[in-house]
Chains A and B, each alone.
Chain A
């Protein structure tokens, strides 16, 4: 298991290749990538991502541990960036390796749902008109209920 909270960009291909390399027991690897969307309709200049150093790593590790208890997983990778990102930049990625694809898919979705509202990150959209904090959505909280 690897958790990385970082400001620097990551190489999706290199990370995916390195993940579970040499693990011949896993028949399924799922990767998910989160990308900065331009929700401000062509006006988004920068997405600032703030986090809580220390708690962020602990919270993600706890979520990943929970996933490993619920599903049969050979490995888990979570990379999440912070700092100033531009539209189209990759914010984060999750990868899961499992013997069967159902475990890999479900665990990846679980990780995403929990990272969204239980890992201490906050997004701020900066446009020509100023900055606005992205509000949490009720549906994100509701998404946790299915687990």
Chain B
């Protein structure tokens, strides 16, 4: 699936987008897999309460299932307007 990062999450991880092969059942499982990879992921995902997640461009939760999802995006709380 495509995994996208925005704002300071993108800066900490160092890339805006990547393809991830995963069997993770939920968003939280995917986060655990990413955190185990490298320090930059651990730094980005250190505090999940400071992050939001969207599944196929819909805001979702970290306990949401990933089956059938093509695009996951992680970002800080939004600051539009």
Contact = CB atoms under 8 A, between A and B. Distances in A.
Interface stretch (B22-30, B32-40, B61-69, B72-80): B72-80
Size band of the A side of the interface?
20 to 34
A58 interface: yes
B80 A115 contact: yes
Interface in A73-87: 80
A124 interface: yes
Contacts of A92: 80-81
A117 interface: yes
B29 to A, nearest CB: 22
A121 B79 CA distance: 6
A38 B51 CA distance: 26
Interface residues of B, number: 16
Contact of B75 (A80, A91, A120, A135): A120
Interface of A: 34, 50, 52, 54-55, 58-59, 80, 91-92, 112, 115-124, 133-136, 141
Interface of B: 4, 6-8, 54, 57-59, 73, 75-81
16 contacts: A52-B6, A52-B75, A59-B57, A116-B79, A116-B80, A116-B81, A117-B77, A118-B78, A118-B80, A119-B80, A120-B54, A120-B78, A122-B79, A133-B76, A133-B79, A134-B79
Given A115-B80, A116-B80, A119-B80, 18 more contacts: A34-B81, A50-B6, A50-B7, A55-B54, A59-B57, A115-B81, A116-B78, A116-B79, A116-B81, A117-B77, A120-B54, A120-B75, A122-B6, A122-B75, A133-B76, A133-B79, A136-B77, A136-B79
